[in-house]
Amino acid sequence: MNVPFSCSENYGERLAAEVGAKFIPVDVGRALVPISGTAIRTQPLQHWKYIPDCVRPYFVKRVCIFGPESTGKSTLARDLAARFDTVYVSEFARGLLDLTGGRCDASDIPLIARGQAAAEDSLVRRANRVIFCDTDILLTTVWSETLFGDCPTSVREMALQRNYDLYLLLDVDVPWVDDAQRFLPHHRQEFFNRCREVLDQNGRRYVVIRGSWAERLETSIAAVRTMME
């Protein structure tokens, strides 16, 4: 007995014959699901409601908020998520270092990297077309080099394996706001330059975000819309 093979495409009958299956046409006129697989693959974000939940993470656009301390990364990630009706990934290191009064040791770096990745991989399942990440592992490598002079090879490798569709690189043209987890109030420009250098070296697509808080948000929204279109 031939294995049943159901399909709404014109090639279904021929394909079934080639594999020794019995062709069963289903919704050939596309009255139940009025779209083709080709159309979904061509423009997945525009046809989001037809993509099964289990495969949506593959199509989600990932935007990383990148740059020095006290430039509004966390606020921007939260505001962008609200504007695009989706979720954002907070900075894993902040919660971890709250337990130590803001002190970071070299041994914390691998844990921070794994925690950031795990948080993102969990939340991307809930994302609506795009997810915003407050930092990434590539920025963790910059911090490791800055604070400890080097970075574990495993963390560097992990950073290279993770891909983002767009980076928003925040400039330092806003006031410094101190807290227990900020380390470089007098070296913000140098840190910004290093961030830009790392993005260039790794071929990452990025837009520099400058100006007032309102201007930062509007420029970021425009950049994300352009990327998604």
Is 1's pLDDT higher than 60?
Answer: no
Place of tokens 């989600």: 60
Same-domain check for residues 105 and 39: no
Domain CATH for 109: 3.40.50.300
pLDDT (0 to 100) of residue 182: 67
Same-domain check for residues 60 and 43: no
Same-domain check for residues 42 and 151: no
Same-domain check for residues 102 and 201: yes
Q: How many domains does the chain have?
A: 2
Average pLDDT for 134-141: 97
| Nearest Cα to Cα of residue 62 among 137, 113, 112 | 137
Same-domain check for residues 38 and 140: no
* pTM, two decimal places: 0.86
Same-domain check for residues 14 and 63: no
Q: What is the mean pLDDT of the chain?
A: 91
Its domain, for residue 126, covers: 54-228
Average pLDDT for 93-116: 91
Average pLDDT for 23-47: 82
Condensed to tens digits (0 to 9), the pLDDT of residues 148-199 reads 999 999 999 999 999 999 999 999 999 887 776 666 777 899 999 999 999 9
pLDDT (0 to 100) of residue 6: 74
Residue 227 structure tokens? 């990327």
Is 15's pLDDT higher than 70?
Answer: yes
Same-domain check for residues 151 and 88: yes
Write the burial class of residue 42 (CB in 10 Å: 0-12 exposed, 13-18 middle, 19+ buried): exposed
Same-domain check for residues 31 and 127: no
Same-domain check for residues 45 and 58: no
Residue where a domain stops, chosen among 50, 65, 82: 50
Same-domain check for residues 60 and 141: yes
Same-domain check for residues 117 and 35: no
Same-domain check for residues 34 and 129: no
